[in-house]
Structure 1
Amino acid sequence: MINKVNQRRRNTRKLLVVSSVLVLVSGLLAACSTNTANVQVAKQEAAAPTNSTDAAKNTAEQASVYPLTIKDELGHELTILSKPTKIFAPIMEDSLVTLGIKPTMQWSNGVSPQEYLQDQLGSVPQISFAGGLPSFEAVLDSQPELIILHNSYASESGAYEKYAKIAPTYVFKSATTDLNSSLRTLGKLLDESDKAEQAIKNYADKAASARTMLEGKIKGKKAAIIRFNAKGMFFMNSNYFSGYVLKHDLGFEQSDLVKDGALEVSLEILPELDADYIFLVNDGNQGDRYFNELRESEVWKNVPAVKNGHVFETSRDYWLSGGFIAHGKVIDDVVRFLQP
C-alpha cells in the first residue's frame, strides 16, 4: 500500500516537472516570435520614408527626366543636367508661355516685342534682333541654362557654335512649320510634356469648333493673305504663321496664284487673284506706302473679293507669329470677320 502511494507521488512530481518545462518552452518561443516580429517592423519602418516630404522627394527623383541627353534637329547632341529655369528661346516665347514658362529675355524687332504676349511677358527684358542674331555677350548677360533656336539659320550663320559655349543649345530646322511637333519637343526638354499635350488638344478643339461654325463659309472657298512691308507687297503661303492656320487648321483652299508659287504681289496680277476672301497684314506699318497704293488702285477695287466686301485688315502682331496663342487669335479673328 505504501509503495503504491509513493509511486503515485513520483508520477505526480514527473507531471509537474514536464508541465513546467512545457510552459517555459512555450514562453521562450512566444518571446522569440515577438522579438522577430519587432525586428521586422523596425526594419520596415527604417526602410520607409519618415514623413510625407521624404515620400514626395523620392517620387520626384524617380519621375525626373534629367539628366537628359538628346540630339537636336540638326544632329547636335546636348545634355541637360537638371530642369532649366532660365531659358533663352527667341521667336518661341509663344510656346514657352503656353507651357507656363517665362524666358530670360524676349525677342524684339528693335521697336517692339510681340505685343499680344505682353500681358504675360511685360516684365521680361527685350533683346533686339533688328541687326540679326544678338552677340555672344548679349546672350551671355542673361546667363541662360538652356538656349533654344527656332530655325537652322543660327547654325548656318555660325552663331550656334558661340551660343553652345554659353549653355546647352537646341536647334530646330523650323519650329513654326509643325507646331505640334515643336511643342512636344519643348515639353520634353523642359519636362512639361503633359502641358504640351493639353495645349495641343485645346487648340485642335478650338480649330474644330471654328470649322464647324463656319463650315458654310469655308468649304470650297479660297483665301489669300497679302503682307505689306518696307520692300513691297507679298503673298503668304500655307507653310507658316496665319497662312498655315487658314489652310491646314480651318480648311480654306489657297488662291491659285499662291498655290502656283507667286510671291510678290503687283497691280498687274491682281485681276488673276481668285480668292473669295483676302486678308491684309501691314507689317508694323512699314508697308504703309504699298498698303495705301493698293487700296487706292482702280484695279484693286474691281477684284471680286473687294467688291463683295470680303477683304479684312488684320493685326500683324499675331498674324505674323508662330505659336498656339497667336494661332488661336487668328482663328478668333476669322470667326469675327465671317460671323460678325
Structure 2
Amino acid sequence: MPEEGMRTVQTDKGPVEIPVNPQVIVSDYYLGEFLAVNVKPVIASPYSLSNPFLKGMVEGIQELNTVSAETSLEMIVAKEPDLIVTITEADYEKYAAIAPTVYIQDGSRSDEELFYYIAGLVGKEKEAEAYIADFRKRAEAAGEEIREIVGNRTVSIVEVWPQQIYTMGSHFARGGSILYDIWKLKAPSAVQAEMVDADTPYKVVSLEALPEYTGDFILYGVLEDTDSSFVEESRLWNSLDAVKAGRVLAYEQVAFMHRDPITLNAQLDIFVDFFRSVGEKE
C-alpha cells in the first residue's frame, strides 16, 4: 500500500499505521459501532452477529470461526483485510501480522467515546457526532417525563445465570448508562455506591440479598437456556414490591449485553415504553 495512503492513530497498543480509507475491515467484537456509520465489516464475531438489534443490517458479513484459532486466522487472511479492530489482546500479535490492527481495551472508554473513536478509524467522525447528537436529543427529551414517573424511587438491573444472580449499574451495558448517567435515576444504595458512583461493573449476589440490591423498578434478564425458576418461583422474589406491583421489565439478555449505539437507541425506546406503561397504570 502506498505510503501516502497511511496515517498514524493512537491505540491502546501505542501508535499504529492504518490506511487513510480502509475498505476491508475485520472486527472480532465492535460491529454495531461500524454499522451505525454505514460501514460493514467483512468478518465479525458470532457474539456481535447474535445481537437481535442488528437484524437486517448484517447480511453478507461472515461469522468468525471462534472454535478454532487456526481456522479463524485462515478466514481473516483469505479476506485480505486492510484493517483489523480487536478487543482480544491475546490475539493482537497474530492479527497484526496479517494487517494493520487496532486493539481497543474493553471498558477504557465510555460508550460515546468508543463509538467516536471507532468512527474515526474509518473517517466517519461527522456521522458519529450526528448519531450521538440525535441519540442525546431523544434521550434527554424523554428524561424529564421518566424522572417524573419514577420520582424518588429506585431502579435496578438483575440478571440470572445458572445458579447465580448478577446485579449491575452503569458500567456493564444493559442500558445502565441511559438509566443512571443520562437520566440520573437512582439505584438501590448498595448498587449506587459500588456500581454507579464507583467503578465496580457488576456483583454476584445471593437470592437472600436481593431485597438489598433490587429497587422499586427491576430490569430483569435471563441468560439463554438458563433455568431461572430458583429465582422466579421463590417466595422472596415474589415478595418484592416491584414484582408484586408489576414494575419489572423482562429484557432479552443476549441483546442487552451489547452497548453499541444501535443497541442503545433500541434500549431507549424499550425503557420509555416500559416506564410510560407503569405511569399509565399508577
Counterpart residue number, 1:114: 51
Aligned to 1:85, which of 23, 44, 55? 23
Q: Larger deviation: 264-273 or 198-207?
A: 264-273
Matched-pair contact (CA < 8 Å) for 1:227–1:280: yes
Secondary structure, aligned partner of 2:84: strand
Separation in 1, partners of 2:256, 2:74:
32
Q: Is structure 2 residue 62 aligned with structure 1 residue 125?
A: yes
Spell out, residue by residue over 1:231-290, the C-alpha distance to the aligned partner (whole angstroms, 9 max, x if none): 62211231131222221122221222323547113221123235111011122x232x1x
Give the corresponding residue for 2:112.
Answer: 180
Matched, 1:169 2:101: yes
Aligned to 2:188: 255
Following TM superposition, by how much is the alpha carbon of 1:177 offset from its aligned partner in structure 2, in angstroms? 4.3
Compute the displacement of 1:174 (Å): 2.4
Match of 1:73 among 4, 8, 12: 12
Alignment match, 1:28: none
Q: Which has the higher contact order (CA 8 A, sep 6+)?
A: 2
Shift of 1:127: 1.7
TM-score scaled by length of structure 2: 0.85
Q: Structure 2: where are the runs of 5+ without partners?
A: 195-201, 278-282
Deviations 1:145-197 (A, max 9, x none): 101123xxx22x2x111100111111122268412212222222111111011
Find the counterpart in structure 1 of residue 160 from structure 2: 228
Q: Does 1:294 align with 2:226?
A: no
Return the alpha-carbon distance in structure 2 between the equivalents of residues 81 and 216 of structure 1.
49
Q: Show the 5 A alignment for 1:311-326.
A: 311-326=248-263
Q: Distance in 2 between matches of 1:133 and 1:249?
A: 43
Question: Is 2:178 the partner of 1:245?
Answer: yes
Q: Distance in 2 between matches of 1:305 and 1:132?
A: 45
Match among 97, 101, 105 for residue 39 of structure 2: 101
Residues 202-221 of structure 1 mapped to structure 2, 5 A cutoff: 202-221=134-153
Please say if residues 27 and 86 of structure 2, whose CA atoms lie closer than 8 Å, have aligned partners that are also in contact.
Answer: yes
1:277 to 196, 209, 217: 217
Name the structure where helix makes up a greater proportion of residues.
1
Structure 2 counterpart of 1:286, which letter? D
Query: CA 1:72–1:235 in structure 2 vs 1: closer, same or farther (change >3 Å)?
Result: same
Q: Is the 8 A contact 1:318 1:329 kept in 2?
A: no
Q: Which amino acid aligns with 1:119?
A: G
Deviation at 1:226, TM superposition (A): 1.2
Partner Cα separation in structure 1 for residue 214 and residue 9 of structure 2: 46
CA distance in 2, matches of 1:206, 1:240: 22
Q: Secondary structure at the match of 2:120?
A: helix
Question: Matches of 2:102 and 2:138 in 1, distance apart?
Answer: 30
Give, in angstroms, the shift of residue 74 of structure 1. 3.2
CA distance in 2, matches of 1:269, 1:306: 16
Percent of aligned positions that are identical: 21
SS of residue in 1 equivalent to 2:167: strand
> Shift of residue 137 of structure 1?
2.5
CA 1:217 to 1:130, structure 2 compared with 1: closer, same or farther past 3 Å? farther
Q: Runs of 5+ in structure 1 lacking a partner?
A: 1-64
1:130–1:178 distance in 2 versus 1, CA, 3 Å: farther
Higher mean displacement: 230-239 or 194-203? 230-239
- Displacement of 1:135: 4.1
- Decide whether the 8 Å contact of 2:149 with 2:276 is kept in 1: no
Hey, what's the Cα distance between the residues in 1 that align with 2:70 and 2:222?
A: 24
Match of 1:54 in 2: none
Which one has the largest radius of gyration? 1
For the residue of structure 1 that corresponds to 2:190, the secondary structure is helix
Aligned mates of 1:252, 1:71 — CA distance in 2: 35
Given that 1:78 and 1:169 are in contact with CA atoms closer than 8 Å, whether structure 2 keeps it comes out as: yes
Q: RMSD across aligned C-alpha pairs, in angstroms?
A: 2.5
